Amino acid sequence: MVVPELRPWRVAGPHVARIAAAVRPRLARVATVARPRVARLAQAVKPQLRRVTRPDTSKTWQYTAGAATAGLALAAGVVSAAGPWDATGQRTAERQWAAAQQRTGGADHGRTPGKTTASPRPAPSAPPVLTGLGGATTAVQAGPKAPDLPSAKALARLLGPLLEDPALGARHTASVVDVATGTRLYGAGAGQALVPASTTKIATAVAALSALGADHRFTTRAALEADTGELVLVGGGDPTLTARQDTTGAADLRDLAADTAAALHKRGIRQVTLSYDTTLFTGPRIHPIGVNPNIAPVTALAADEGRTDGSASGPAPRVADPAADATAKFAGFLAAHGIKTSPPGPSKATGRAQTLATVSSPPLSAVVERMLTNSDNDIAETLARHTAVATGERADFTGGGRAVAAQLKKLGLRLDGAVFHDGSGLDRTDRLTADLLTDLLALAGDPSRPELRPVLTGLPVAGFTGTLTSRYGDGAAGVVRAKTGTLTGVNTLAGTVVDQDGRLLAFAFLSSGTTDPTAAQKALDRAATTLAGCGCR
């Protein structure tokens, strides 16, 4: 399953009905702060709305606009006409405003993979809504003076007691940073490394995007060995490759088989020896936790993450050999086009093999968003290996961890105490600090690094998407965006929130030694909700 493209907000109707009463007062409060900007932004949008909303069959834009003041203020003005949310939890007004500005620098989210050789064109971006009202780095400086930063003392008074909740176990740390300025506003053991669980995926996302680029795509190809007549299905490490009919923009084995069969028919070939190549990745395929429904064997060739129950996310039974399974399905699709194959087996394509057909994944920006929204372990481990390949490390669990760490160090991030033994956070020997997590989030909001924006736009939206769909039933629903982390005895939460003054804050809360995961999650959610309601003077 690919993170849904933008659709009319009506798709989110059931969610909107449930939380509208909670969201609307917050929109009104923030609009009061930013009201002088509303008229100017609305005037900019008005002439463009007809063009923006006209159907475009050539591409579907998924704008990289975050949840900050400019979008919130404009949303308050159009909420009755357009609805505040679309199916992905993005503010409708934000993406309309982004389009009206005709900005560039975002990532391509819409082209059909494998259907064109042209370079992906970036979608419009709206960096100002990611930096907060009047932030020092925002491109929009006109209007009222930005509110002062929240007081560190006030934050300590509010968060301190909440983070001392016994539900958070024996050890807990926290960090809060103002994204626009990079100012650290609050810290409690923020430099102490704890087990991060799935918040590790934030680090993996930043490393992969910086090493590969937001527009990078993973390509699966069928290659013919001219000397032997062997057809090799070459895995390109695409974690979104599918054999299902409803592809939702993913690279499709059915398309690859159809194009391959057509190429073979042109050559007068009706029967081939079929094999598969997974040599892009090396080392053990089974995660150190062992065979587990949370992750399939990691391989450069897999269809639908090796799932056997038709699911698209979450724990599921998996096939023992995803590469063999994917190739067997490919053989079936070839047969439907009149190509007979031998039973497939492992091989390696030579440099002389001629590529007959290819299919490519959505851009990395979209893959990262899917990974973060669904907390997808399979994607995370694949991206760690791709980071290793791109930086010259061995493409296995150990090499992936080294590559992620090296890439973050290259970005100038503080890695004191950080340990990466995988890309997903399933390994309990991983260690991260709250400081590093908020640094990663702040870096992703830096207007000078638009390639990292999917780290923020992919975060689950409280009460709407991914692992936060069933959390935040009131209060901060739709305002908190955060990556969750859960292992036995470990509960973490890291993300962004817009406070009552319209400042975008990054936060990270880590707890270890918890005994009741539900109580721990509620305690973390209370802390994030407190930030959302904070003026904190």
Active-site amino acid positions: 198, 201, 375
Q: What gap in Å lies between CA 75 and CA 28, rounded to an integer?
A: 9
CA 432, 437, 439 angle in degrees (round to 5)? Answer: 125
User: Please, what's the largest Cα pairwise distance for the chain?
Assistant: 77
Please report how the helices 92-101 and 69-82 are oriented relative to each other, as an axis angle in degrees rounded to 10: 110
Q: Choose among 337, 355, 333, 328: nearest CA to 265.
A: 337
Residue 126's CB is within 10 A of a number of other CB atoms, namely: 27
E-state strands within 99-157: none
Reduced to 3 states (helix: H, G, I; strand: E, B; else coil), residue 133 is coil
Q: Over 169-192, what HEC string results?
A: CCEEEEEEEECCCCCEEEEECCCC
CA 37, 39, 42 angle in degrees (round to 5)? Answer: 105
Contact between 215 and 364 under an 8 Å Cβ cutoff? The reply is yes
Beta carbons within 8 Å of 417's beta carbon, 6+ residues apart: 191, 192, 193, 431, 432, 433
Reduced to 3 states (helix: H, G, I; strand: E, B; else coil), residue 99 is helix
The position carrying tokens 């994030």 is: 528
CA 354 to chain centre: 34
Contact between 527 and 174 under an 8 Å Cβ cutoff? The reply is yes
* 373 backbone dihedrals φ, ψ, rounded to 5°: -60, -45
CA 369 to chain centre: 2
Beta carbons within 8 Å of 13's beta carbon, 6+ residues apart: none
Total residue count of the chain as it appears in this document: 537
CA 387, 389, 392 angle in degrees (round to 5)? Answer: 105
Between the CA of residue 32 and those of 146, 412, 450, 480, 535, what are the distances in Å? 13, 38, 29, 20, 13
